[in-house]
Amino acid sequence: MSKPVYKPNKEFAKNARIKNMCEYNDLQEWASEDYEGFWGHYANEKLDWIEPFTNVMDESNFPFVKWFEGGKLNVAAQCIDRHLDTRKNKAAIIFEGDRGDKQIITYLELYYNVNRFANLLKKKFGVKKGDRVVIYMPMIPEAAYAMLACARIGAIHSIVFGGFSAEALRDRIEDAEAKVVLTADGAYRKDKPYMLKPVVDTALEGDTTVEKVLVVERNGEDIEWVAGRDYSYNELIETQDVHCESEVMDSEDPLFLLYTSGSTGKPKGVQHNSAGYILWAQMTMEWVFDVKENDTYWCTADIGWITGHTYIVYGPLAMGATTVMFEGVPTYPDAGRPWKMVEEYKINQFYTAPTAIRVLHKMGEDEPKKYDLSSLKVLGTVGEPIDPPAWKWYYEEVGASKCAIVDTYWQTETGGHIVSPLPGATPIKPACATFPLPGIMAEILDPATGERVEAGETGYMCVTRPWPSMIRGVWGDAERFVKSYFGDVKKDGKPVYFTGDGAVYDEDGYITITGRTDDVINVSGHRMGTAEIEAAIKKHPNVAEVAVVGKPHDIKGEGIFAYIVLKSDDGIADEVEEVKAINNVIKKEIGNIALCDDIVFAPGLPKTRSGKIMRRILRSIAKGEAITQDISTLEDPSVVEKIENMVKSK
- The partner residues of 213 in beta bridges, in order of sequence, read 181, 230
SS3 assignment, position 431: coil
Note the pLDDT tens digit of each residue in 63-75.
999 999 999 999 9
Roughly how many angstroms between the first and final C-alpha of the chain, as a whole number?
35
Contact 413, 457 (CB under 8 A): no
Please list, in sequence order, all residues whose beta carbon lies within 8 angstroms of the beta carbon of residue 60, skipping any fewer than 6 positions away: none
What CATH number was assigned to the domain covering residues 34-329? 3.40.50.12780
Rounded to two decimals, the pTM is 0.87
Long-range residue pairs from 453-458, CB within 8 A, at least 24 positions apart, any chain = 453/504, 453/505, 454/505, 455/504, 455/505, 455/506, 455/507, 455/509, 456/504, 456/505, 456/506, 456/507, 457/504, 457/505, 458/502, 458/503, 458/504, 458/514
Distance, C-alpha 387 to centroid of its chain? 20
Looking at residue 42, what is its pLDDT?
A: 98
More confident site: 537 or 528 = 537
Q: Residues of the chain with pLDDT > 90: what percent?
A: 73
CATH topology of domain 442-516: Luciferase; domain 3 (2.30.38)
For the chain, what are the domain ranges?
Answer: 34-329, 442-516, 521-649
Mean pLDDT for the chain overall = 92
Q: How many CB atoms lie within 10 A of CB 515?
A: 17
pLDDT at 572 over 60: no
In Å, what is the CA distance from 591 to each residue of 435, 557, 585?
35, 19, 9
Alpha helices in 542-611 (DSSP H): 575-589
- One-letter amino acid at 324 equals V
Query: pLDDT class for 78, splitting at 50, 70, 90?
Result: very high
Note the pLDDT tens digit of each residue in 98-153.
999 999 999 999 999 999 999 999 999 999 999 999 999 999 999 999 999 999 99
How big is the chain by its Cα radius of gyration, in Å?
A: 24
Give the C-alpha separation, 438 to 399, whole Å. 26
SS3 assignment, position 121: helix
Looking at residue 534, what is its pLDDT?
A: 85
Q: What is the DSSP letter of 605?
A: -
Give the C-alpha separation, 215 to 57, whole Å. 41
Query: pLDDT class for 214, splitting at 50, 70, 90?
Result: very high
Contact 564, 602 (CB under 8 A): yes
Class of domain 521-649: alpha beta
Looking at residue 263, what is its pLDDT?
A: 55
pLDDT at 392 over 80: yes
pLDDT at 438 over 70: yes
List, as one string, the DSSP characters of 483-544: HHHHSS-EETTEE-EEEEEEEEE-TT--EEEEEESSSEEEETTEEEEHHHHHHHHTTSTTEE
Query: pLDDT class for 630, splitting at 50, 70, 90?
Result: low
Note the pLDDT tens digit of each residue in 261-296.
765 567 899 999 999 999 999 999 999 999 999 999
Note the pLDDT tens digit of each residue in 218-239.
999 899 999 999 999 999 999 9
Query: pLDDT class for 310, splitting at 50, 70, 90?
Result: very high
Give the C-alpha separation, 491 to 524, whole Å. 32
Note the pLDDT tens digit of each residue in 542-553.
888 888 888 888
